[in-house]
Amino acid sequence: MVITVIWGAALFLLLSFAVTKRGLHLFEGIIIWVFLLFIENNVLWLVCMNAKLIEMTKQELDFVALDALRSVIVPLLTILFLEKVSIRERKSGQVRDWIGIVFLLFGIEYAADFLGLLQHISTWQWWWSFSWWAAFVLLSYAMHRLIRRIAKKDVRI
Amino acid sequence: MKLYLPQQFDGNESFCLILLGITAVITFMLPPRFPMIVATAFFSIGLGIAMYVDFHLGIPPIDLYRINDRDQYELFDLILFITYSAYSYIYVYFLDKWKLRGMSISLYVLAWTFAGIVLEAFAVHFHVYTYKGWSLAYSFLFYIAALMVTLYIYFLMKRTYQQTKRDSSKDWT
């Protein structure tokens, strides 16, 4: 059931992403998606496999559901945030977007815990997750700025 | 929380470093062919595919193979991902340079699939990969699928570049 709901949401998000007008160039999209996967998976592997601070599910179907979260839903939401924040003119709107995306990603992590896809160990502090997602969004934003500067030299955006 | 160093510096670490050295030399020796943003995207594709697969198949609960010395994440796992990045760049570089069309594209993909298999067989020999349920036969399917995806993205990117390039930017024909 969990796999159906999460993969259903991921595919719907992916479809909506593909059929709506994008503010991001294809090349930016590819590079940023890989970058997001890179930092997310590296940190997840370090936290889960090396430090054992979070335990990933041992059920194969739940693991596939978790994959939808980390490989599709989280990168797509972050890319949508980057698109939105890059066209916002008012600072207040930008601040709202920043806070919104960090809370959203934080909420997704705890929803995954609630659904049994991963489990934080008892000593885990909620603000570690919050700090991680804030850093994740900040890094994504910096990467997007850098890639956009390179892309603008070669293509129209 | 740390990125582990190798338990012992032996065959698998040497193999990773030699492979990294060879791919880096080839990549830097090739005359620039693509615009900067395109080259960056091609490097990203190899990294993305290799990382995606290893982060799913190489860890529990699926856990079909172990990479390098430990089940945990270590420095040389990261180095290995970087070599895949160069692998995909060199693959599209010659595909583009030789302007392959028709059946020659299929043969080119097949040749790179076999190159990948041979490289992986060496990697297994040097204990870079330790199979726990995986086999080279599965790798054949993986390489052919990954190279086809890369091929599709190559054509998609080329078309997108022609449509969106600036008048002042480098030609990519």
> CA nearest A82: which of A100, A67, A70?
A100
B169 occurs within a structural domain: no
Structure tokens given for A35: 């970058």
Residue B71, pLDDT above cutoff 90: no
pLDDT of residue B3: 82
Residue A119 Cα, gap to closest chain B Cα (Å): 14
Is residue A112 a contact partner of residue A56, using CB atoms and an 8 Å limit? no
Which of residues 125 through 154 in chain A touch B, CB cutoff 8 A?
Answer: 147, 150-151, 153-154
Domain assignment present for residue B103? The answer is: yes
- Taking a C-beta distance cutoff of 8 angstroms, is the pair B4, B67 a contact? no
pLDDT digits (tens, 9 = 90+) for A33-77: 999 999 999 999 899 989 999 999 999 999 999 999 999 999 999
Structural domain includes residue B23: no
Mean pLDDT of B74-91: 92
What are the structural domain ranges in chain A? Answer: 2-9+24-154
Read off the pLDDT of residues B43-60 as tens digits, 9 standing for 90 and up. 999 999 999 999 889 888
Instruction: State the average pLDDT over residues B132-148.
Output: 95
**What total of structural domains would you count in chain B?**
1
Q: Which residue of A has its CA nearest to B171?
A: A154
The torsion region of residue B118 among left (phi > 0), alpha (psi -120 to 50) and beta comes to alpha
B10 lies in some domain: no
pLDDT greater than 80 at residue B173? no
DSSP letters, B65-78, are EEESS-SS-BHHHH
Residue B105 within any structural domain of the chain: yes
Q: Find where tokens 């002042």 sit.
A: B168
Residue B24 lies in a domain: no
Per-residue pLDDT at A116: 94
B60 chain-A contacts, CB cut-off 8 A: 56, 58
Q: Residue B7's pLDDT is what? A: 83
Q: Residue B60 belongs to what domain range?
A: 38-163
Instruction: Quote the tokens at residue B98.
Output: 């030789």
Q: Is A94 on the interface with B (CB under 8 A)?
A: no
A58 chain-B contacts, CB cut-off 8 A: 60-61
pLDDT at position B106: 97
Contact B157 A60 (CB under 8 A): no
